[in-house]
Amino acid sequence: MALSNIWIVTEPSNGSLTTTSLELLTQGRSFGASISAITWGADPAIAGVAGEYGATTLYDVGDLGGALPGVPVASAIAALVASVGAPDAILIPTSYDGRDIAGRLSARLDRPVLTNVTCLADDGGLVTEHPVFGGSQTVKARFTGEGPGIFVIRAKSFAAEASGGAAATVVAAPPGDVGATGTATIAATHVEERVGPKLEEAAVVVSGGRGLGEADKYALIEETAKLLNGAAGASRAIVDAGWVPYSHQVGQTGKTVKPTVYIACGISGATQHMVGMKGSKNIVAINKDPDAPIFQIADFGIVGDVHKVLPALIAALKARS
Amino acid sequence: MNIVVCVKQIPDPAAPQSLDASHNLNRSGKLILDEADTYGVEMALQLVDKAGTGEVTVVSMGSAADVAGLRNALAMGAAKAVIVSDDALRGIDALGTAKVLAAVIKRESFDLVLAATESSDGYTGTTPVQLAELLGLPSITFAKSVSIDGGSVKVERQTESGYDEVTAPLPALVTVTAGVVEPRYASFKGIMAAKSKPLEVLSVADLSLADQTGPAGARQEITDVVASESRAAGEKYVDEGDGAERIVGFLESIKVL
């Protein structure tokens, strides 16, 4: 059965769409289906971006009035399914709001959802791939019941490429009455300043883990990252410990990165961390435990103390600049 | 302030994991309380403490052959536990799980439902929000702090760039991240007390959900499980004071420097 109609949830971000949204549009296009994007926020610039990546229609839920997107966006999609009919598939980015939308939509439509998708192929219906057990095995799955299938797809699963299409036709898609479910509202937004490139986009990522010993030593990671024009990342262990904000976390529950080089410092290589960085082009590991699992996937490993190796590396990099 | 915390007993993540012949996670061994759930239990205990009244109930679904994980939550201070355990639930998906949990929670009187952002074994990460929808509740996910202010819950919710302050009227559902609070260790007194606390085991029939459960209710199937493309280990050197120099050399070889 050929795919004729795919809807893609696209998240607005500073007058454009998030990179993962663009990746999903690109992949949706490759199935030869008609692509409709769904967004919110009533920003007129989005129609151009969505069209450039292959969407012909842009359903805009409109200004959410401070509500968290999950409920109103899912409600609007459910209303669209009722009014214009269900698409073959609904693709949603793995993100804070994307997961909320997927959960709400799944319950509203009474359709299951496949999450943590890293590959999507058309094989007489969409077949997904999901990494399990720290990425050592891949599970392939598909929906067996009545559609639409809801797919929640991880960042960096596909490359984003513009198709050069004309601006998408904007269609208003109001959420309707959401009752008590829609009462979670944002009272204030706090931005934690980050310097340098974004973690997901940096060519070099330097990450620290428990092996740093204490929170203050994370400064070594930040300085090394800065000298390499890279971004500083972290393992879940030190995020949980409160040493660094969650936005630095790389792994299953954090960000997926695929830099040119990933430098893991004092990170043993818990499976949940590996899922987020295994796709890096090169992996360098510094760890004092020669048997740390991280060395099994590292292209270049130094068995040593990060407290000695990193200051020396910082000095060497400074000497070159 | 009555709080329901959704918890899951999972195979110890530190032990080797495998899938069984039906592609379900092998859960035949020892089960423990998912560490991700200990944060919700602790948060709930602290909120009830602060309110000065009410109690914490933990609800779960899965095998009741081993309930050490639930006893652990009771030992931490939860008042009672309810687990739905039924062979008919084997192979159930996230939405089906949410339906089962919703049926259990509807029997309770509650102001707030807490859950982890995702389990450490399946990590689907949608069950709590599906549950909120089924219960008709507002939800706030990815909380890094939770407080109660009169009839509302106030949450600092993680975002890509920092965090948002989000509020919702009670009753509501909140998912908490690791790090929202430091979970306590059960005291000896708590462990002894847990042995006599109520732990109810329910079947699907008790909840009238028979047609929506199990793999048929899941409406999705695993078609294949394959080994992922593996990365081979590369060069490895013991630092003899030349570790940094060697890294610089490697970075030069891949043209990062």
Say whether both A94 and A159 belong to one domain. Answer: yes
Task: State the pLDDT at residue B56.
Answer: 98
Whether A190 maps to a domain, the answer reads no
Task: State the pLDDT at residue B215.
Answer: 57
**Closest chain B CA to residue A315:** B244
Question: What's the alpha-carbon Rg for chain A, to the nearest Å?
Answer: 21
Question: What pLDDT band is residue A3 in, cutting at 50, 70 and 90?
Answer: confident
Task: State the pLDDT at residue B25.
Answer: 80
Q: Which of B19, B166, B254 is nearest residue A68 as measured by Cβ atoms?
A: B166
Say whether both A276 and A223 belong to one domain. Answer: yes
Say yes or no: A173 contacts chain B, CB-CB below 8 A: no
Task: State the pLDDT at residue B210.
Answer: 61
Say whether both A46 and A154 belong to one domain. Answer: yes
Q: Are A137 and A278 in contact (CB under 8 A)?
A: no
State the best of B25, B101, B228 to mutate against chain A, taking most chain A CBs within 10 Å.
B228
Burial A241-252 (b: 16+ CB within 10 A, else e): bebbbbbbbbbb
Question: What pLDDT band is residue A113 in, cutting at 50, 70 and 90?
Answer: very high
Task: State the pLDDT at residue A242.
Answer: 80
> Is A137 in Cβ contact with B140 (below 8 Å)?
no
The amino acid that residue A123 corresponds to is D
Q: A100: which chain B residues are within 8 Å (Cβ-Cβ)?
A: 129, 139, 141
> Is A143 in Cβ contact with B225 (below 8 Å)?
no
Give yes or no for residue A108 having a pLDDT over 70: yes
Highest mean pLDDT among A117-131, A208-222, B82-96: A208-222
**Structural domain count, chain A:** 2
Say whether both A157 and A227 belong to one domain. Answer: no
Mean pLDDT of chain A: 93
d(CA B196, nearest CA chain A) in Å: 33
Residues comprising chain B, all counted: 257
d(CA B122, nearest CA chain A) in Å: 9
The distance in angstroms from the start CA to the end CA of chain A is 58
Task: State the pLDDT at residue A253.
Answer: 76
Question: What pLDDT band is residue A144 in, cutting at 50, 70 and 90?
Answer: confident
Say whether both A116 and A152 belong to one domain. Answer: yes
d(CA A300, nearest CA chain B) in Å: 5
Task: State the pLDDT at residue B188.
Answer: 95
Say whether both A134 and A271 belong to one domain. Answer: no
Give yes or no for residue A18 having a pLDDT over 60: yes
Q: Which of A140, A312, A320 is nearest residue B224 as measured by Cβ atoms?
A: A140
**Closest chain A CA to residue B225:** A139
Say yes or no: A277 contacts chain B, CB-CB below 8 A: no
Q: What value does the mean pLDDT take over residues A20-27?
A: 96
Say yes or no: A115 contacts chain B, CB-CB below 8 A: yes
The amino acid that residue B95 corresponds to is L
> Is B124 in Cβ contact with A187 (below 8 Å)?
no
Question: Minimal CA–CA distance to A22: which of A150, A173, A175, A201?
Answer: A201
Q: B118: which chain A residues are within 8 Å (Cβ-Cβ)?
A: 253
Identify the segments of chain B with pLDDT beneath 50.
none
Whether A140 maps to a domain, the answer reads yes
**Which residue intervals of B86-198 are DSSP H helices?**
94-105, 127-135, 188-194
Whether A218 maps to a domain, the answer reads yes
Q: What is the CATH number of the domain that holds A231?
A: 3.40.50.1220
Q: Which of A112, A127, A312 is nearest residue B219 as measured by Cβ atoms?
A: A112
State the best of A192, A235, A246 to mutate against chain B, taking most chain B CBs within 10 Å.
A246
d(CA B222, nearest CA chain A) in Å: 4
Whether A26 maps to a domain, the answer reads yes
Whether A289 maps to a domain, the answer reads yes
Task: State the pLDDT at residue B155.
Answer: 97
Q: What value does the mean pLDDT take over residues A10-17?
A: 95
Say whether both A175 and A226 belong to one domain. Answer: no
The distance in angstroms from the start CA to the end CA of chain B is 58
Q: What is the CATH number of the domain that holds A101?
A: 3.40.50.620
Measured in whole angstroms, the distance separating CA A257 from the mean position of its chain's CA atoms is 9
Greater confidence (B41 vs A137) lies with B41
Say whether both A155 and A218 belong to one domain. Answer: no
Lookup result for tokens 């009455």: A177
Helix (H/G/I), strand (E/B), else coil: B137: coil
- The pTM for the full model equals 0.89
Instruction: Note every long-range contact of A240-243, with CB atoms under 8 Å and residues 24 or more positions apart, other chains counting.
Output: A240/B178, A240/B179, A241/A210, A241/A215, A241/B179, A242/A215, A242/B179, A243/A212, A243/A214, A243/A215, A243/A218
Greater confidence (B232 vs A90) lies with A90
Task: State the pLDDT at residue B13.
Answer: 76
Fold adopted by B3-218: Rossmann fold (3.40.50)
Please state, in angstroms and rounded to a whole number, the distance separating the CA atoms of residues A39 and A17: 9
> Is A191 in Cβ contact with B162 (below 8 Å)?
yes
Say whether both A314 and A222 belong to one domain. Answer: yes
Say whether both A84 and A16 belong to one domain. Answer: yes
d(CA B195, nearest CA chain A) in Å: 30
Q: B257: which chain A residues are within 8 Å (Cβ-Cβ)?
A: 228, 317, 320
Q: A72: which chain B residues are within 8 Å (Cβ-Cβ)?
A: none
Say whether both A171 and A300 belong to one domain. Answer: no
> Is A246 in Cβ contact with B228 (below 8 Å)?
no
Task: State the pLDDT at residue B216.
Answer: 57
Task: State the pLDDT at residue B152.
Answer: 97
Whether A104 maps to a domain, the answer reads yes
Task: State the pLDDT at residue A233.
Answer: 96
Task: State the pLDDT at residue B217.
Answer: 66
Task: State the pLDDT at residue A201.
Answer: 85
Domain ranges in chain B are 3-218
Question: What residue numbers bound the domain in which A227 lies?
Answer: 204-320
**Closest chain A CA to residue B117:** A253
Say whether both A168 and A210 belong to one domain. Answer: no
